[in-house]
Structures are given as C-alpha cells and as structure tokens.
C-alpha cells in the first residue's frame, strides 16, 4: 500500500470516528435550581455576570490616570445575584482604584468602596464606568 493510500484511509477513518461522537453523546439535563447546579448565580439562567460580555483589559496606569476631567459612571450590577470577586476584570485593578482620589470620592458618594468594583470599562478618552456589586463586606 502506498503512503498516499495509507494516509487517505487514515483520514477517512478519523473523519468517520469524529462525526459519530455527537450522535453518541448523552443529552444533559439542564440544571435550574439548587446547589448542585454549576451556574454561578444559584440557578438563574443566563448568568447575570455574562451580561457584560467580554471585558477589554484595562491597565492599572489607565485607572490611576483618571482625573477630575473624566466622567465617572457608577453602575450597580447584578444586585439580586451572587457574584465572585474574581470574576469581571477588576480583581487586579482594585488597588489602583483605591489609590485614585477621584474614583474613591465618587464611590464613597454612592456608598461603595474600591472592593465593591466588579468590572471596569474605559469608554473613550474621558469616561470610565465602574460596575459595582455589594459583595457583603
């Protein structure tokens, strides 16, 4: 058997074995409530934290550069859900947020702290949106 015929036979065998995988897969029951469910929010579907979509990376230097010329928006997020502090993109930014007087002043006015920030979106050259959640400090 030539190398080409052997390669073709192998390729056909691989393709037929892969196409059979979905047909043999067992359907999964969707979990809707209880602690055994893998969803983050205790069974609500879809997960509230997914509403932000993919968050762009924000650098700590960008957060530290926010001054009085910026519009700072505070958006309460997923108020009736349980979120994890490690979700979102603010886990590595909370220290920079706490060091920025402009951001801490606005957060304090609204009754929040840097530790309550779940996600950060830089929106243009002069706007920042801090998504906050009451983590139960």
- Reduced to 3 states (helix: H, G, I; strand: E, B; else coil), residue 76 is strand
Give the tens place of pLDDT for each residue, 80-94. Answer: 677 777 778 888 999
Bond preceding residue 107 cis, omega within 30 of 0: no
Task: Count CA atoms closer than 13 A to 94's CA, side-chain side.
Answer: 16
> Is the torsion defined by CA of 102, 106, 109, 111 positive or negative?
negative
Given a cut of 80, whether residue 98 has pLDDT beyond it is yes
The CA distance from 68 to 86, in Å, is 29
What pLDDT is recorded for position 7?
A: 67
Q: H or E segment at 111?
A: none
CA distances for 11 relative to 8, 18, 24, angstroms = 5, 11, 21
Q: Where residue 78 falls among pLDDT bands split at 50, 70, 90?
A: confident
């Amino acid at each position: 058997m030539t190398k080409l015929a052997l390669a073709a036979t192998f390729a056909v065998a691989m393709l037929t074995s892969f196409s059979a995988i979905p047909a043999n897969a067992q359907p999964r029951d969707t979990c809707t409530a209880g602690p055994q469910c893998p969803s983050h929010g205790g069974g609500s579907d879809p997960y509230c934290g997914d509403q932000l979509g993919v968050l762009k990376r924000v650098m700590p230097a960008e957060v530290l550069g926010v001054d009085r010329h910026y519009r700072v928006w505070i958006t309460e997020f997923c108020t009736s859900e349980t979120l994890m502090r490690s979700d979102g993109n603010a886990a590595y930014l909370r220290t920079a947020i706490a060091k920025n007087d402009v951001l801490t002043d606005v957060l304090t006015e609204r009754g929040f702290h840097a530790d309550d920030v779940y996600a950060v979106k830089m929106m243009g050259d002069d706007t920042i949106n801090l998504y906050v959640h009451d983590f139960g400090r």
